[in-house]
Amino acid sequence: MKKLVYLFIAAFLFVGCSSMQQAQNLTNCKFALTSVNLTDYNLTSLGFDIVISITNPSRTETASLKRFVGKLTVNDDPMADVTLKDIHIEPNSTKQTKAKVSVPLSAVSSKLIGLLSMGSGTLDYHLTGTMYFEGPLGVEIPVPVDVGRVGSHNSK
């Protein structure tokens, strides 16, 4: 019985150390908002493709992102929720992930609609959120992420 308890403790510590390594790998990753492109628009909504680049600087360990939940703002106006799931970034590589979002026109300010319709305004995009990795016993562990800002010229 005593050996079974030691075996259980050793297994738990192994899983815990592995989760700490995953957390370290994920927190060392670099996130960049690569592009935000207006893909379609109509009388009720705007559609965007958002590309996020994730770089894993580790030379030996794969970084695994269970999910990312964030919010996209354009010129400081909240626009859309962004969700990504099950992303694996190989060691010493960059992976680009794409999210499609639809923003109701009711959520867009009149100033922003004017910039989009003119096609000549500079828009400032910002993505913040929380990434989650899987910890011991399937528990999701959150890590906050601020992807940063990207100025983009709207030319559709």
Domains of the chain: 2-153 (2.60.40.1820)
Strand 140-153, strand 45-56: pairing: unpaired
Under 8 Å between Cβ of 81 and 101: yes
Q: Which two tokens stand for residue 97?
A: 């992930």
Residue 10, pLDDT > 50, answer no
Of residues 12 and 53, more confidence is placed in 53
For the CA atoms of 36, 149, 89, 67, the dihedral, rounded to the nearest 10 degrees, stands at -80
Give me the amino acid identity at 25: N
pLDDT surpassing 60 at residue 7: no
- Asked if pLDDT for residue 55 goes beyond 70, the answer is yes
What kind and span of H or E run contains 86? strand 77-89
**What value does the mean pLDDT take over residues 6-28?**
51
Mean pLDDT for all residues in the chain: 74
Segment 74-128, tens digit of pLDDT: 777 788 899 989 888 888 999 999 999 888 877 776 656 666 666 555 667 788 8
Give me the DSSP letters along 10-76. HHHHHHHHHHHHHHHHHHH-EEEEEEEEEEEE-SSEEEEEEEEEEEE--SS--EEEEEEEEEEEETT
Please compute the mean of the pLDDT values over residues 41-62 and round it to a whole number. Answer: 86
DSSP state of 115: H
Is the pLDDT at 15 greater than 50? The verdict is no
Q: Residue 69's pLDDT is what?
A: 92
Would you say 148 and 125 are in contact if contact means Cβ atoms under 8 Å apart?
Answer: no
**Residue 95 confidence (pLDDT):** 92
Percent of the chain clearing pLDDT 70 (strictly above):
66
Which residues sit opposite 38 in a β-bridge?
A: 48
Would you place residue 30 in the very low, low, confident or very high pLDDT band (cuts 50, 70, 90)?
Answer: confident
109 close to 77: Cβ distance less than 8 angstroms: yes
Beta bridge partners of 102: 47
pLDDT the model gives residue 94:
92
